[in-house]
Structure 1
Amino acid sequence: MNLWTGSLQASQYRLEHSSATFLSMFPMNYGTLRDMTQSKSCLAGWTTGNCNANGIDIHYLRTGGHHPPLVALHGLLGSGACLAPLTRALENDFDVVLPDARGHGKSGAPARGYLYDNLAGDVVELIKKLNLKAPILLGHSMGGMTAAVAARELGAGVSGVILVDPTFISPEWQREVFESDIAEEQRRSLVSSRADLLTHARVRHPSRSEEILECLVDARLQTSMFAFEVLTPPNPDYRELVQSIGVPILLVIGDKGVVSLDAARELQKLNPLLRYELIADAGHGLPYDQPKRLGAAIMSFLQAISTLRAGSARVD
């Protein structure tokens, strides 16, 4: 069974990443835009840092505190700050680390090396450098696939995996996206002021908070064109990835997203450690459109695996 039902899911993904909803930058403006300061609301009370991972400076936000670690990975054209509203549902119980992927946010942007193995390698190195003990991995879209690849590499070095509408796409659909003009649309999109673009975003996404809209616009302006290499086929085999993960997995999807309910059921059959949650009235932009409901689903899962671990410890 195909995990993606084809053109409908493809259109959902392109809608979220089209020039109508995001901006990019011309290389000549790259340095200036990448130095933009994130809005204070995105960073309040959190620390920032940089970690050298595989020769690249990876910028991150961190909520801190004496809590179990959780690493949250954003999608294409995002940044760690874009997951701030979701993170607020988690920060009282977890030390949340929010890295900017290479080529995104304030992280370094090499000219090549944006395949999922590269992105996951940065996450693995970040976890080692920050000495995070068996963290939870959470990822949305591109970050979801990255989290799955990193979980395969880390094995028992992670405590759980949360996949939010990940890019578990068929080879046919991946080729369709790769051959589309999505990247070229980005190049043509920088024709208005930031203020005009925010105004357009408010009209297009009236239910999204001002904080999220500002973070998304700034993050997309900071994204390197090199980052589109991640769309190059082939992706890692998502079925093999799911089967290889030996810790509890939560798959969260929307009823208007890109991963279907049938897909979730199939993945659950492939790995009984996987459970799925369907959030109504949500598309691919789950962390932006339904951060509270997504946060509640995630916390329920995390509490369940915490209880499971506690019970296992008592038996031992």
Structure 2
Amino acid sequence: MSWKTSVCEANNIQIHYTRTGGNKPPVILLHGLMTNGLCWTMLARELEKDYDVVMPDARGHGQSSAPEVGYQYNDLANDVVGLINVLRLPSPILIGHSMGGMTAAMVAAHQPNLLRGLILADPTFLSPSMQQEVYNSDVSDQHQQILNMPLEAVMAAAKVRHPHRSAEMIEIFSRARLQTNMAAFEVLRPPNPDYSQLINLITIPSLLLYGDKGVVTTEVATHLQSLNAKLQAAQISAAGHSVHMDQPEKFTMMVKAFLDTIVN
């Protein structure tokens, strides 16, 4: 694997990223909370033959800067815009999961001329009451405890939760978890951006992929499609919030098919 890692300075922080490289159409993969760019390794391997895949670590994650403040979705979106501009990526396609999905939707809604296409993998399109519920939950307390655990213990617990994931991915995700700064949880503070307004503003070809046991429901997907003729949506069965990890073959197939329609 000849992937390169580097750091670029954008939006007043250091953004660490992994890149497959080559003179090919660029695709940027945006991860969710408590993960990092390398957590997209499986998809990147499937795409690298045809695409220059860029996998940044969001602020507070991986090896990127972890400032004390600045974790609203607006900040995360500005980081992505900065990355695109500094690396001079021509019309990239954004693929984002969870927090990365909401971030990608923000970029697509407010900087439409920057992008060629958009794929949202079960983005954090939560109702106001659910946003509050998540924010009030013990998710950050649990993470504080995990930060005090050795890697081996984090990996052992992950293996129990995800028995079907490979040892390689268990390790990648566990290392990413231990690299997630507590400040990053500030992104959970309500209110999130209004996702209906964002979808309404998007003018590029877009695809929403969601599981049958995740965040986005069929009702929400149908509603969003009614707002924007550019948006396609597809449900992947037997998949939860981590739709790209629960059904990697189906997810990859749908991603490739969509990319073919906008690149070729």
Higher RCO structure, 1 or 2 (CA under 8 Å, sep 6+): 1
What one-letter code is carried by the residue in structure 2 that aligns with 1:202? K
Determine the structure 2 residue equivalent to 1:215: 172
CA shift for structure 1 position 190: 4.1
Contact 2:125/2:215 (8 A) holds in 1: no
CA shift for structure 1 position 290: 2.1
Note the alpha carbon deviations across 1:106-158, whole angstroms, 9 max, x for none.
00000000000000000000000000011101100000000010112221220
Note the alpha carbon deviations across 1:254-303, whole angstroms, 9 max, x for none.
11111111211111111011001211111111222222221110000111
The two structures have a TM-score, normalised by structure 1, of 0.81
Determine the structure 1 residue equivalent to 2:160: 203
- Secondary structure at 1:49 match in 2: strand
Determine the structure 2 residue equivalent to 1:61: 18
CA shift for structure 1 position 192: 4.0
- Secondary structure at 1:105 match in 2: coil
Q: Are residue 105 (structure 1) and residue 62 (structure 2) matched?
A: yes
Contact 1:79/1:99 (8 A) holds in 2: yes
Note the alpha carbon deviations across 1:231-268, whole angstroms, 9 max, x for none.
01111110010010100110000111111112111111
Contact 1:178/1:231 (8 A) holds in 2: yes
Task: Point out where structure 1 has 5 or more consecutive residues left out of the alignment.
Answer: 1-43, 308-316
Contact 1:103/1:227 (8 A) holds in 2: yes
Determine the structure 2 residue equivalent to 1:185: 142
Determine the structure 1 residue equivalent to 2:107: 150
Larger strand percent: 2
Distance in 1 separating the partners of 2:153 and 2:31: 25
Note the alpha carbon deviations across 1:45-77, whole angstroms, 9 max, x for none.
200110101110000000101110111100000
Note the alpha carbon deviations across 1:185-237, whole angstroms, 9 max, x for none.
21123454321221222122111111211111000100000000100111111
Q: Are residue 176 (structure 1) and residue 176 (structure 2) matched?
A: no
- Secondary structure at 1:198 match in 2: helix
- Secondary structure at 1:126 match in 2: helix
Distance in 2 separating the partners of 1:89 and 1:162: 16
- Secondary structure at 2:42 match in 1: helix
Q: Are residue 234 (structure 1) and residue 191 (structure 2) matched?
A: yes
Question: How does 1:8-47 map onto structure 2 within 5 Å?
Answer: 44-47=1-4
Give the % identical residues: 50
- Secondary structure at 2:240 match in 1: coil
- Secondary structure at 2:58 match in 1: coil
CA shift for structure 1 position 160: 0.5
Contact 1:149/1:241 (8 A) holds in 2: yes
Task: Point out where structure 2 has 5 or more consecutive residues left out of the alignment.
Answer: none
Determine the structure 2 residue equivalent to 1:84: 41
Give the counterpart of 1:52 among 1, 6, 9.
Answer: 9
> How many residues are aligned here?
264
Higher Cα radius of gyration? 1
- Secondary structure at 1:276 match in 2: strand
- For the aligned residue pairs, the C-alpha RMSD in angstroms reads 1.1
What one-letter code is carried by the residue in structure 1 that aligns with 2:129? E
